[in-house]
Amino acid sequence: MTPESTDTPAWTTIETSREGYVGRITLDRPASLNTFSTDLAAELDDALTSFDETDAVRAIVVDGAGKAFSAGIDLTEHADFETKDEYEAWVAVMEEPFRTLTKMRTPVVAAVHGHAAANGIGLLAACDLAVVAEGTRMGATAPKVGLFCMGPAVPLLSSVTRKRCLELLLTGDLIDAETAAEWGLVNRVVPDGDHVAAAVELAETIASKSPAAVQMGKEAFYEMAERDYEDALDYSNERFAELCTTRDAHEGIGAFLDGDPLGADEWPGE
């Protein structure tokens, strides 16, 4: 039976909710264009981890309130620090969600509109999939203020070619949604205002499949991406064999061979 919609605990810089098997995280600093304050970065990371540890959540959508997805790091916090060590600790908090997104087993879909700049484009790139509204502008804009998008460069390197990545990083220019799709940065471009619904639909499609297969598969994907070709194949064989032993595999294959594939509410779990 599909789990009922529930509200998760209140936050100060984000909002979270769950509908069926899909969790939703909304960056909620609209007056600041959802820039990454220390609090927002920490709460986003906590919410991602919390959903990843919730069995009823099989996919997550991340979007932004107001006029933009996220315009980057909250530069008003820059004056709070002085030393290199202090700045390193500060930026480490900002980039922690990028680490979490590739470590967690639950797939995450970004629903992007308005602007995704600096850490905003980094978050977009770090999510597993991205749906973007027409008219959205995206860029690694930090050089415009004397900084450089070093953190966002890490997920960007895994999303676009080296030359495209460097073009974004070195120019600081914004690209439009169609260019982002052409470059492979986003999966889908949808009419303005439809980005959340389209991302939720994509998340629901993922959530209707075997949770054991999807979660183990995502985990394996990111591990294989870090290995050389032969080693990645050996690792893939090991994880596939492990997946074959799960209840989802036994019951899913049986149902398929009987001509009645399992629906979203019928998966037994690992």
Looking at domain 211-257, its CATH architecture is Orthogonal Bundle (1.10)
Is the overall model pTM greater than 0.75, yes or no? Answer: yes
How confident is the model at residue 1, as a pLDDT?
38
Spatial contact of 224 and 236, defined as CB atoms under 8 Å apart: yes
What are the 10-residue block averages of pLDDT along the chain, 270 residues in total? 52 97 98 98 98 97 98 96 97 97 97 98 98 98 97 97 98 98 98 98 98 97 96 97 96 96 90
Rounded CA-CA distance 49/43 in Å is: 10
Rounded CA-CA distance 48/62 in Å is: 9
Question: In this structure, how many other beta carbons lie within 10 angstroms of the beta carbon of residue 41?
Answer: 25
Q: What is the CATH number of domain 6-207?
A: 3.90.226.10
* Tokens 């996220």 belong to residue: 70
- Domain-by-domain residue ranges, the chain? 6-207, 211-257
Q: Do domains 6-207 and 211-257 have the same CATH topology?
A: no
How confident is the model at residue 10, as a pLDDT?
82
96: nearest Cα among 140, 8, 9, 36 = 36
